[in-house]
Amino acid sequence: MPAAVLLLIALPLSGASFKPPLRTEDGFAVPQQGQRFEFPRDHGSHPEFKIEWWYITGHLFDGDEQRYGFQATFFRRAGPRGPAGKLEEHSPQFAHDELHLAHMALTDVTGKQFHHEERLNRRGWDADASTNTLALHNGNWSLRLGTNGVGSMALTGSIHADAAYTLELTPRKPLVFFGDDGVSRKGAAPTAASHYLTWTRLEVAGQLTVNGRERPVRGEAWMDHEISSSQLDDDQAGWDWASLQLNDGREVMAYRMRKLDGSTDPFSRLAWVDAEGGLTQDGSGEFTWSAARIWTSPTTGAEYPVGVTITTRDPATGNDVSFTLEPLLMDQELHGAVGGVAYWEGACRVRDASGEEVGSAYLELAGYLGSLNARFK
């Protein structure tokens, strides 16, 4: 592992993890600029914020070069506040102060199957998120950072009786902080923001079981950790988001915040991460997002704009470039049976304007079965 990555994981930065924060109307912290992060502590949970998630997507290959996409997401949402904004007291074995939702998904490209499962548990014996380091679990699903906050992460997941994986995730580039001075804005309201921490390139190795057959796999993944108390503004319905890992060692992250009338919010953003981990960020007027077709879910009836093309300026050359995200499987919808939110989350290949395959991507399309405004505020 590169020395810079080890330092980012292992060594705390000077200063407090979070200074006294601003508050939402219901008493939760609001992300502020100038925060100093301490690791491994800030890879963990932040109960003073209302919403938090740890989100991993990646592409795997087995010994026969069969391809798979995988997703593992752990959500934490604070429960209701009591008088004066205080959390209500409950038994630590069966608490109501936090709800923990988790999603696991696997795209079997060769088998043309999409497997997924969702779980919802109260904080306690069956689900929790450490406030000291990255140590999450929801039932037998878990994500944990190595001893003393150093080294790789271990991910364990399963999807009913159809699939299971045990994966080791090793950062190959430094941690990236998207946004302006530690705050990623999602809307005009000061509360529509997050602290947005990302490992854009993780080396993956481990074991994958699909339909009873176990095989070793390798690949690459992307990991987001967002800390927030509101991801949406009052006039927003949802978002389109993409993470691209290019074959030249660079990455692109883009999100389009969608208003209730379907237009693009000016707080949409695109970011490039260069081969050394350097960050270039662009506003909504510096890239375009378009979709070539609509895929209609046979399960929910939601209409998702897939086959997305992102056009922007390449900071390395100054020239305009286009990337088209081509789904590896059309039906990659998580139906929202437990959490109540259906969304499309899919593995894609990336093609440039000439049609050449130049990387891999994950695409998320959320809020196409009704506005998510109430759920992410």
Taking residues 149-178, report their average pLDDT: 94
* pLDDT at 146 (0 to 100): 84
Three-state SS across 130-144? Answer: CCCCCEEEECCEEEE
Q: What is the DSSP letter of 187?
A: S
Q: How many CA atoms lie within 13 A of 222 on its CB side?
A: 22
Distance (Å, rounded) from C-alpha 17 to C-alpha 343? 33
Distances in Å between the alpha carbon of 9 and those of 12, 172, 323? 8, 12, 32
* pLDDT at 1 (0 to 100): 35
- Indicate the range of 4-18, 115-129, 219-233, 301-315 predicted with least confidence: 4-18
Distances in Å between the alpha carbon of 298 and those of 105, 111, 333? 18, 19, 10
Q: Name all domains of the chain by residue range, CATH numbers in brackets.
A: 1-229 (2.40.370.10), 232-377 (2.40.370.10)
Taking residues 279-304, report their average pLDDT: 96
Q: Which amino acid is at 182?
A: G
Instruction: Give yes or no for residue 151 having a pLDDT over 90.
Output: no
Taking residues 116-142, report their average pLDDT: 94
Run of H or E including 5: helix 3-10
- Give me 253's structure tokens: 């992250």
* pLDDT at 376 (0 to 100): 59
pLDDT grade for 91, boundaries at 50, 70 and 90: very low
**368 closest CA partner among 342, 347, 346, 345:** 342
* pLDDT at 106 (0 to 100): 98
pLDDT digits (tens, 9 = 90+) for 213-227: 999 999 999 999 999
* pLDDT at 371 (0 to 100): 74
- Give me 96's structure tokens: 């109501």
Instruction: Give yes or no for residue 18 having a pLDDT over 70.
Output: no
Q: What is the DSSP letter of 44?
A: S
Which residue carries 């991507």 as its tokens? 361
CB 106 within 8 A of CB 70: yes
* pLDDT at 327 (0 to 100): 98
CB 285 within 8 A of CB 264: no
pLDDT digits (tens, 9 = 90+) for 8-17: 223 233 334 4
Calculate the dihedral angle through the C-alpha atoms of 103, 165, 254, 291, rounding to the nearest 10 degrees: -80
Phi, psi angle pair for 191, to nearest 5°: -80, -15
* pLDDT at 206 (0 to 100): 98
Taking residues 36-56, report their average pLDDT: 96
- Give me 87's structure tokens: 């959390």
Taking residues 291-304, report their average pLDDT: 95
Percent of the chain with pLDDT over 90: 75
Instruction: Give yes or no for residue 6 having a pLDDT over 70.
Output: no
CB 192 within 8 A of CB 232: yes
Percent of the chain with pLDDT over 70: 87
DSSP secondary structure string, 238-275?
Answer: EEEEEEEEETTS-EEEEEEEEETTSPBPTT-EEEEE-T
CB 359 within 8 A of CB 350: yes
* pLDDT at 150 (0 to 100): 64
* pLDDT at 148 (0 to 100): 64
Taking residues 183-190, report their average pLDDT: 92
Average pLDDT across the chain, whole number: 89
Q: Is residue 75 exposed (0-12), middle (13-18) or buried (19+ Cβ within 10 Å)?
A: buried
pTM of the model: 0.90
Taking residues 67-75, report their average pLDDT: 98
Instruction: Give yes or no for residue 28 having a pLDDT over 80.
Output: yes
Q: What is the DSSP letter of 180?
A: B
Instruction: Give yes or no for residue 100 having a pLDDT over 60.
Output: yes
pLDDT digits (tens, 9 = 90+) for 325-359: 999 999 999 997 666 789 999 999 999 999 999 99
Distance (Å, rounded) from C-alpha 114 to C-alpha 68? 10
Q: What is the DSSP letter of 11?
A: P
Q: % helix / strand / coil in the chain, to the nearest 5?
A: 5, 55, 40
Taking residues 72-91, report their average pLDDT: 68
**253 closest CA partner among 321, 183, 200, 185:** 200
